[in-house]
Structure 1
Amino acid sequence: MYGQCLCGAIAFEVSSPTKWSAHCHCSRCRQAHGAAFVTWFGVSAQQVKLMHEDNTLRWFDSSENAQRGFCSTCGSTLFFRSERWPGELHIALAAMQEPIDRPVSAHVYFDSHVPWLTDTDALPKYGGDSGTEPLSQSEEERR
């Protein structure tokens, strides 16, 4: 599977299998991407090979224990890594030029989604501190 940033300065190859794929609604992902949510998938960091990277890949400490990787030329946010998931790399699905080996399976941090997102799919929705806890009945009804 092949992916790249908008300008092509960072290109990468990802080998299967992926671990998961989900839409993230946390405020940091929304701010980093300028979008209502970001669709990520996760792999072991060893499954990612940078094809070419013209010294443009930069890492930003977006929180105490997490970094976001982006292209310093075009600004594309491509990667996320955290001490919470050691050895795992999360990749923005929109950066992929080819389909990955699995469909998106859930919405995480959905309890903090933007209020103007009113029409969502039937995928399971999770929230809470971890972003992966089942929503309460009242939260489910608000979707």
Structure 2
Amino acid sequence: MPRTASCSCGQLRIEVNGELRGVGICHCLACQQRTGSAFAALASFAAPFRVTGTATEYLRTGDQGARFRFRFCPICGTTLFHTEEGEEGHVSVAVGAFADPAFPGPTVSVYDCRRHPWVILPPGTTAFDKDPP
């Protein structure tokens, strides 16, 4: 089933047609700064996906050397999605950008070592101190 996520102003959109691979939350300091929140909630989808609108990109290197290309709206600033270099077969989309309260919850939590103590994980969530191996 295709799903569409958009930025706050609607200029940038991504339609994902591939299978939902999983939903996770990241508590790393880079994601906290990027989102302005205590964590980032991301949904990973298999290709194909289609982007409409204009995006600005920001390339960040993770703790283990992976390079992530974040795309955000140059008008409203919403970080909508990102891809990992060398992993072109999937895309990670900000869960909130789907504007769907019924969207599936996270099953994985990464960088739990940086999780704010008041953030309570949903029951059954698998937590990793940093990135999983």
Smaller-chain TM-score bracket: 0.7 to 0.9
Which structure 1 segments of 5+ residues have no match? 134-143
Q: Which amino acid aligns with 1:78?
A: L
State the Cα RMSD in Å: 2.1
Contact 1:109 1:126 in 2 (8 A): yes
Contact 2:32 2:40 in 1 (8 A): yes
Q: Which runs of 4+ in 1 moved over 4 A?
A: none
Seq. identity, %? 22
The structure whose Rg is larger is: 1
1:9 and 2:48 correspond? no
Give 3-state SS (helix, strand or coil) of 1:19's partner.
strand
Give 3-state SS (helix, strand or coil) of 2:24's partner.
strand
The equivalent of 1:132 in structure 2 is 132
Instruction: Name which of 21, 32, 35 aligns with 1:33.
Output: 35
- The TM-score with structure 2 as length reference comes to 0.81
Which structure 2 segments of 5+ residues have no match? none
The equivalent of 1:60 in structure 2 is 58
Contact 2:5 2:80 in 1 (8 A): no
In structure 2, the CA distance between the partners of 1:121 and 1:104, relative to structure 1 (3 Å rule), is closer
- The TM-score with structure 1 as length reference comes to 0.76
After TM superposition, give the deviation of residue 40 of structure 1 in Å: 0.4
After TM superposition, give the deviation of residue 39 of structure 1 in Å: 0.6
Q: Which amino acid aligns with 1:41?
A: A
